Structure 1
Amino acid sequence: MQTPTKRTGTPSPAARHHVCWGYRRPAEFVAEAREFLAEGLAVGERVLYVAPGDQSFLEAQLRTDGRFDEGLRRGAVQVASVDATYTTGTVVDPAGQVELYATATAEALAAGFSGFRVAADATSLVRTPAQLDAFARYEHLVDRFMATQPMSAMCGYDLAELGGDAVAQLACMHPRAHEVATPFHLHGHTRDGSAAALEGELDMEARQLWPLALERADLRPTAGATVIDAAGLGFIDHRSLSALADYAGRRGTEVVLKTRLSTPARLVELLDLTGVRVERV
């Protein structure tokens, strides 16, 4: 059984609005998706439910207690079949997928809603290595969008089908995860406009996942420096710092790690790592 995500430091603002939800029975996700979407309806958002099945089946999953009936009639509640939208084996285009949700968010605002909220079971979109790689990149990219726009999302993944290691590759790109063991979160909900926020712990457990997440995040430098808001980081070992230096070298950038920890600066000096600068916050 997967253990809950390690949490360290102060949560990022609005981070609750993008959550990776691991489940072992589809009914578990459906029940949590209903609650997540009902919260959005209560604050005037348009909500979208995406899952396997046809439209009538998906609407029936929401029509269990009457909370969504009126919204379905007036367009505040929408459903979309993942089967009808994507053919088997589809590898999503990360930027294109974000653009679709950006358009949906703009349309919701234009229609008078306060925002846009999605609960999506994306299990069928990450079954192959190529699908998983592309979707992990999308998860980080859409998190950057959600950090500044009125969109929220719950992303469901079947742990029984995909396995914990695969889902952890997706969970680490979210600010929050449920029932998925990931040692860290590299996401877009920063406090200060940095390229990314980093929370959790970078230890032996993260030795394979951390370099992979860095590559997929494709962090954006500003004036030649890639700044990471690591105020929520509880621990980082020398291997993870070396991976950060390797990333800086490949990307031709200087990585600035903003952290409350005192040890990273000493390790960078002792290891003579180039391309990494540590700033205490």
Structure 2
Amino acid sequence: MSIDLSAPARGSSVARAAGALIDKRSGGCHDHACVAYTTRAERDRIAVEWLLEGAALGQRLLAVTDDDDAGDRLRAAFAAADAGYELTHTSLGEVYDLSAPIDAEAQLAHFRGEVASALDAGFAGIRVFTDITALNLDPARRPGHVRWEHVADAFMAGGNPVAAMCAYDLTATGQDLGAVMAVHPLRHGPSRVPTTFGMYWRDGHRFLEGEIDQFSIPALIGALEVLPSEGADLDVSGLAFLSVRASAVLAGMDPSQRAHRSIRLVNAHPVVERVWSVMDFDPRRLIKRTDS
């Protein structure tokens, strides 16, 4: 099985929150979030909040971690909430092959099965919390993980009743997971995590929103590498700030990029158009769309 994301699939429009997680706790059935944490207590608190939001929506609750206590402390934190819901904990190694790069197709098949099982049991889909720290300790695995998150995001945005949160330990991974964070609509981390933008799916289109400054360049380059080699359209109507160098990256003119893709920016703000003109970038890469 292969996944073709060269053209956004148009499915039913679903409500999805985007931006800073702390400000956008909508509790939707299709939300996709990423959190950077520094302590287990912080992680477990965020996980419990996320899972309880799904319980209120009738979703089956799943937690996937590589904890040395087999998830006992997380389950205890969930039980302490005394909400009366059931949480299923699975070890990370049962869901992912930790000895090989992520196989996005295999992972998608796994989650399709989980959704089908939950729906058959009368749930309104699934809500998943996954600690992805162990999946990203090896820098060589990270590009594949970025691609998997983008594939999973398309699956959720396509109307499938999955809400998923990823979390990683900054003390173990450092700050090099910016691209992983960036391909989530909802994001949260300490101020030193420079992922102030998101690239995600909505209404059958890819969106790039937020603020992209000099510090965000590595994350932007890493996120763009999941796009099809032949190029893609990005709706940038939600970009609040775009530095000159970030514009060069999107134009495929930055020397630090390993691969240059033909990216077209949809519904760019006049300030972006002005930068494009001053830098003499290809004007054919700026297009307008009226069905956003």
Measured against the shorter chain, the TM-score band is 0.7 to 0.9
- Give the TM-score, by structure 2 length: 0.76
The answer as to 2:187 corresponding to 1:187 is no
* C-alpha distance in structure 2 between counterparts of 1:46 and 1:176, whole Å: 21
**Which structure features the higher share of helix residues?**
1
The answer as to 2:42 corresponding to 1:28 is yes
What secondary structure is seen at the aligned counterpart in 1 of 2:64?
Answer: strand
Return the match for 1:267 from 258, 261, 275. 275
The answer as to 2:120 corresponding to 1:105 is no
- How many aligned residue pairs are there? 257
- How far 1:137 moved relative to its partner? 1.3
Change (3 A) 1:56 1:242: closer
The answer as to 2:256 corresponding to 1:232 is no
Within-5 A mapping of 1:52-71: 52-53=66-67, 57=72, 59-68=75-84, 71=86
Q: Specify the alignment match of 1:175 in structure 2.
A: 185
Q: Which stretch of the first structure deviates more once superposed, 102-111 or 268-277?
A: 268-277
- How far 1:162 moved relative to its partner? 0.9
Q: Specify the alignment match of 1:74 in structure 2.
A: none
The answer as to 2:140 corresponding to 1:127 is no
* C-alpha distance in structure 1 between counterparts of 2:166 and 2:37, whole Å: 10
Return the match for 1:215 from 218, 225, 247. 225
RMSD over equivalenced CA pairs, Å = 3.0
* C-alpha distance in structure 1 between counterparts of 2:29 and 2:213, whole Å: 23
Q: Specify the alignment match of 2:12 in structure 1.
A: none
Contact 1:227 1:255 in 2 (8 A): yes
Q: Specify the alignment match of 1:257 in structure 2.
A: 266
Change (3 A) 1:144 1:16: closer
Q: Counterpart of 1:26 in structure 2: which amino acid?
A: R
- How far 1:25 moved relative to its partner? 0.7
**Aligned-residue identity in percent:** 30
- Give the TM-score, by structure 1 length: 0.79
Gaps of 5+ in 1: 72-76
Contact 1:140 1:217 in 2 (8 A): no
What secondary structure is seen at the aligned counterpart in 1 of 2:163?
Answer: strand
The answer as to 2:286 corresponding to 1:277 is yes
Change (3 A) 1:208 1:42: closer
* C-alpha distance in structure 2 between counterparts of 1:65 and 1:6, whole Å: 27
Change (3 A) 1:36 1:220: farther
What secondary structure is seen at the aligned counterpart in 1 of 2:199?
Answer: strand
Partner deviation per Cα, 1:111-139 (whole Å, 9 max, x = no partner): 22111110111111100012212111111
